[in-house]
Chains A and B, each alone.
Chain A
């Protein structure tokens, strides 16, 4: 090993067949001296590389991962590397939130004739990894538990929505229900402090519709199973959905991705004044036998459980997403009642993300180990996600391809979160259902928040806002505005 001193590290390289693999070959034929840490995997195109390959390698103990493809404009398949560039840049910026040093991953372009450049790329990347040393192992990390600070300021006054024109909405739904197979909304659950999704088919059903801060579920979660493109044509229905602003974004995103057809869906909207973080409400209520009553006022509710009143002010107990909400009233809905409040100020960093931002890489790595340890792999996070549309065929459970094993360790559990997050890159609208659904309260939303932030910065894009926009990872620009090529 003439180039570098010391022990070999494990570096995985994915090279495209047409350019970089040829480049490596040219370097070999020219007998260019290279470090031997690299293990090359040949792929047809850099566009073939799923970011999950990289994450799997890093999680399984690779000290570095290098990707090299054809130079932009030189792709054998004309645009594969343009798509790859977007995906890989998102991945690179995503790594630090997981506690992985982003210097351990790099992507570059080497053509088949550039034997010398290949030699230089390998040498400098290997040198960089040697400077970083062996990658930290999940097994060695000390678990860390940390709690996000939920004290936040809303961009608009929050309330309990009791003045919303619910009766007008009900009348409207009643007038349309004959033409719709079902309308999804909310009704009271097993007590007055919990609601559950309501599926309205008759006028009596419509009378059970409720509106208020307990309407936490995102009804968009049920849309794909009713009118998704995978549903046999004769079973496709025409449905209505009552939406909060955030819920409508999930549906718009589905329209953007052509998962559903606008002809099959009617949206009814009321202005949302915020929803409760049921986790914090339930924590405050503790163990009780019975909810005696729930009283509403403009600023919050008073829940009396077993004779003891508990006061919950919406400004203190709203879901994290509600504070940053800038679209309380769905703008693309077919029937809109009420008016949207004025939005003042700019959104702050979401609380879970702010907590991770304040940590070092090492702490984040430990944090995910500590948090994911209690995951039971029930996949409530996945199934509650309105945009997880292939849940019955999820790669988390298939044997072919065999992405995850059934072994019980943090690595497998956390890898599923990587999968879910990467599959939502550029799609997630931060509805927060994954985190809300988690029975053991793992703050998994932070990973999605980071992706949304990256996508916003790189592509100046917000998902679920415009049903005609193309999601950023499904398109490319020949000259990317915000992606700066790094030299190796």
Chain B
């Protein structure tokens, strides 16, 4: 039996204060502009926050846009002045963090990142340190939206995968349900009132959310059909003709995890830093080799990489799509490229053949 707690809207700041005692709490905040956006920011007492769907996913909690992997410093060896001593520090930085108010698609993003970073041949210590100290409080969606399609790809508006606590909005407040051991411990220690009696209402609200979603096509053939298009250059050219080759789709994706590693500073005199930062397969530089040759010189090949990885090769390796259906790559695309359409076109073309 799950642990349930109930919070009125007015209780939420107190709940955040409770989290903030021992954690950095990332909450969605509105950045007012002609085109407003919702981004995650560390919560401070008295800060305004929102529970609207964030424009950016909360990926930064486990995979920051830029992080220092190693600091290095060269100093002269006092005993042998013609030689240097090298000091390295590669301790992972991890602040215990609570992500509050992300959506089910964001949380499933964490589960998707866990596979390559934690379950593969090599475990990434930096990722592991942050992931282990992360608590995810997910707000379930009460309705679908025009660009999201989480239910196509194995998720749903209240999918618990990757979350510790699911929070559902009811008419008079929020019910928080623990969906992991960690979530249970947190909820039990929290100052919130018991919400067990609201379970039925919660389940009904979540069910009602499913009813608002768009019609779900059958994607079970997607991995084969997308892979079958791999050598069909014309298909990709046609689908990506309007692509601008920027990185918006990948940087706003909860499950894109490609990165770049660069060294900043020589380490002589003051410490240098080896930085891991987000990179994206949409950039020509991503695959350009030192010789100047680029195996993915055209934007069609780069978009093929992104779609194939999400719908064919990642599933082949890990048994699930690595698209969360959050729709951010569609709504944030300056040319409104629709990944749903690309996959559906690949399936339709496969059927014809």
List residues of A whose CB falls within 8 A of some B CB.
145, 147-148, 150, 189-191, 194, 196-197, 199, 217, 221-222, 277, 279-280, 282-283, 287-291, 371, 374, 376-380, 382-384, 391-393, 397-399, 405-408, 433, 436-443
Contacts and interface: CB of A to CB of B under 8 A. Distances in A.
B144 A289 contact: yes
Interface stretch (B35-43, B72-80, B345-353): B35-43
Given A291-B146, A378-B248, 8 more contacts: A148-B34, A190-B338, A190-B341, A191-B146, A378-B247, A397-B285, A436-B334, A441-B37
Contacts, number: 152
A275 to B, nearest CB: 14
A238 B275 CA distance: 44
Interface in B48-78: 52-53, 55-56, 64-66
- Give 8 closest A-B pairs by Cβ, nearest first: A441-B35, A279-B35, A437-B334, A408-B66, A383-B246, A439-B332, A392-B284, A406-B277
A434 to B, nearest CB: 9
23 contacts: A145-B33, A189-B336, A191-B146, A197-B335, A280-B35, A283-B36, A287-B52, A287-B143, A290-B146, A378-B247, A378-B280, A380-B247, A380-B332, A392-B283, A406-B262, A406-B264, A406-B275, A406-B277, A407-B66, A437-B246, A439-B332, A440-B31, A440-B55
B91 interface: no
A26 B31 CA distance: 55
Nearest to B33: A441
A249 B264 CA distance: 41
B32 interface: yes
Contacts of B37: 374, 439-441
A291 B146 CA distance: 8
B34 A407 contact: no
B233 to A, nearest CB: 14
- B37, B251, B336: residue with the most chain A Cβ atoms closer than 10 Å: B336
B260 interface: yes
A194 B333 CA distance: 12
A289 B143 contact: yes
A347 B65 CA distance: 41
Interface of B is mostly: loop
B145 A147 contact: no
Interface string B280-316: 1001110000000000000000000000000000000
Given A392-B284, A408-B65, A440 B34 contact: no
Nearest to A187: B242
B212 interface: yes
Interface in B260-277: 260, 262, 264, 273, 275, 277
A145 B248 contact: no
B321 to A, nearest CB: 20
Interface residues of B, number: 52
A374 B54 CA distance: 12
Nearest to A196: B336
A440 B56 contact: yes
A142 B175 CA distance: 37
Given A289-B145, A440-B56, A406 B36 contact: no
B65 A377 contact: yes
- A393, A397, A433: residue with the most chain B Cβ atoms closer than 10 Å: A397
Interface in B12-27: none
A288 B31 CA distance: 21
B334 A433 contact: yes
B248 A279 contact: no
A383 B302 CA distance: 15
A196 B39 contact: no
B119 interface: no
B245 interface: yes
A408 B277 contact: yes
Given A145-B33, A439-B332, A443-B33, A378 B275 contact: no
B147 interface: yes
Nearest to B30: A145
B39 A382 contact: no
Contacts of B337: 196
Contact of B32 (A145, A150, A377, A378): A145
Interface in B210-255: 212-214, 241-242, 244-248, 250-252
Contact of A442 (B33, B64, B143, B145): B33
B336 A438 contact: no
A288 B65 CA distance: 30
B214 A289 contact: yes
A437 B245 CA distance: 12
Contacts of A197: 241-242, 335
A407 B31 contact: no
B330 A190 contact: yes
Given A380-B248, A407-B275, A392 B285 contact: yes
